[in-house]
Each structure stands twice: as C-alpha cells, then as structure tokens.
Amino acid sequence: MLDFNHGSERTPVDPRSVPIGERINDLVNAALIAERQKQPRREYLGASMLGNACTRRIQYEYAGAPKDEGADFDGQTLRIFDAGHQFEALSIKWLRAAGFALLTEKADGKQFGFSVAKGRIKGHIDGVIVGGPSFLSYPMLWEHKALKDKSWQDVVKRGLAISKPLYAAQLALYQGYMPDLAQNPALFTALNKDTEELYHELVPFDCSLAQSVSDKAVNILRATEAGQLLPRMAANPDYYECKFCPYAKRCWHGV
C-alpha cells in the first residue's frame, strides 16, 4: 500500500494559511487599489457629484479631504466600476447595431463635455446620438447607467427624476452647459445588470434644475475659497445618508 504521507509524521498545517481563492482575490484587489492610487485627484467639481443632496460632502471631495479610515473604495467596489464600463460598452454596441449613430468621443479622441469657471466645474458625457430612427430628434445627449435589478425596477416604475435625482441633476447640468444638446430631449439608458434588460427614457431639458445645480456649484466654490465649511444635510449622524458617507467621522467628530 502506498504511503502518500512520506513518513510517519505529517507536516503540521499552518493556522495562518489562507484559501487560494482569497489569496488570489487579495492580489486582484491590491492591483486595482494601486492602479486607482496612481490616478491624479480630481481637482474640479464634476457634474456626476453635484446632484448629491449634501453640499458639505461635495465640498470635502472637491477640497481633497482624506476619507475616513476604511471608507475609501475597496477592490470589490472598483470591480463594480470596471464592470459598469463593460456594460456601457455593450449598450453602445447594441444601440449602434440597432441603427443609432452614437458617438462616444470627438474627432481628437477626447470625450464630449463642458468646462466652466476656469475649469473648476466640468462634466463629461457618455455620448451623443447624431442619427437613427425617424421617431426621434437629433442630436441628442446619451447617458448610460448599469443598475442592480431592484434599482432598475424602481427607475422603470417611477422615472428618472423621482427614482434617481442624482442622475437627473447630472443630465440637467450637461444640457445646461451644452446648449446644442438641450434642444432635443436626452436619451437615458439603464441596463439591468442581473437580467440585461434595457430601459430607455427621453429626458427634456429641465432649466430650473440645471440652474439650481449650477448655483450650488458656485456656492461650493465660493465657500471653499473663503475657508467656510458648508452646512450638513442632516441634524444628527444617525441620518441614513450620513451612515454611508465616507466623511462621516470627519464631519461629525472632526477626526
């Protein structure tokens, strides 16, 4: 009978050993985090952040304040971001195959977008549709989001403005600062990450929303330059949005 133990004494198992799957995932996560850390900090107010209800949180991010310990993006979150880009690429492929002339970059290879206030307020759109089916008007701004099923179902049921005010504000600001794309409704596309279903909604330009978001941006710039900390959005740290804020400890406890 063969003895695969190679001796009467077995090598003791190292209690510090980690399953191979975890070891590989740790390497993947570390690589993603290292890659992100190499990216330069965004030193402007991006359209994607200005729809957030808390101006203090936006101000912290704009000023480059360190996030609370352990509150920065982990490897799993960064993988979700990467997957979102892949889902967007699929939607682009499908819309083009359906006859939409969808452009995602200008002739010089740069993204479509806007820059105002000496570059301190910027936005980059997902694309511009310049032609397609006759039942739509062109050119039209195109914005894409990949959502989990529950979130996707909610936007289908209630519409963009009510279900996703953050995205609605983002679109309004784009249209406000890109007037050539405000004449026709924007096309908002949401992909269900669990079922690959697509939801499309035409979004007319909301001038009042764009103005309020623009005014918010200017207020944040002025307050930051003056060294003034803007008010919190809540009266206590138990508010649900505060619980998930990466600056909660800094905001409420000064740490």
> Which pLDDT belongs to residue 84?
85
Instruction: Identify whether 193 is part of a domain.
Output: yes
Q: How far apart are CA 82 and CA 143, in angstroms?
A: 17
> Is a pLDDT exceeding 60 seen at residue 8?
no
User: Region 54-66: what's the mean pLDDT?
Assistant: 92
User: Region 32-42: what's the mean pLDDT?
Assistant: 83
Instruction: Find, among 69, 33, 45, the residue nearest to 247 by Cα.
Output: 69
> Is a pLDDT exceeding 90 seen at residue 15?
no
> Which pLDDT belongs to residue 4?
43
Q: How far apart are CA 49 and CA 146, in angstroms?
A: 17
Instruction: Identify whether 2 is part of a domain.
Output: no
Number of domains in the chain: 1
Q: Which domain holds residue 237?
A: 41-253
Mean pLDDT across the chain: 90
pLDDT digits (tens, 9 = 90+) for 100-126: 999 999 989 889 999 999 999 999 999
| Cβ-Cβ contacts under 8 Å for 177 (sequence gap 6 or more) | 114, 116, 123, 210, 214
**pTM of the entire structure?**
0.85
Instruction: Identify whether 74 is part of a domain.
Output: yes
Instruction: Identify whether 171 is part of a domain.
Output: yes
Q: Where are the beta strands (DSSP E) in 26-95?
A: 45-46
Q: Is 104 exposed, middle or buried (0-12, 13-18, 19+ CB in 10 A)?
A: middle
User: Region 70-74: what's the mean pLDDT?
Assistant: 80
Q: What is the CATH number of the domain that holds 180?
A: 3.90.320.10
Instruction: Identify whether 56 is part of a domain.
Output: yes
Percent of the chain with pLDDT over 70: 93
Instruction: Identify whether 236 is part of a domain.
Output: yes
Instruction: Identify whether 8 is part of a domain.
Output: no
Instruction: Please say whether the beta carbons of 45 and 122 come within 8 A.
Output: yes
pLDDT digits (tens, 9 = 90+) for 125-142: 999 999 999 999 999 999
Instruction: Identify whether 3 is part of a domain.
Output: no
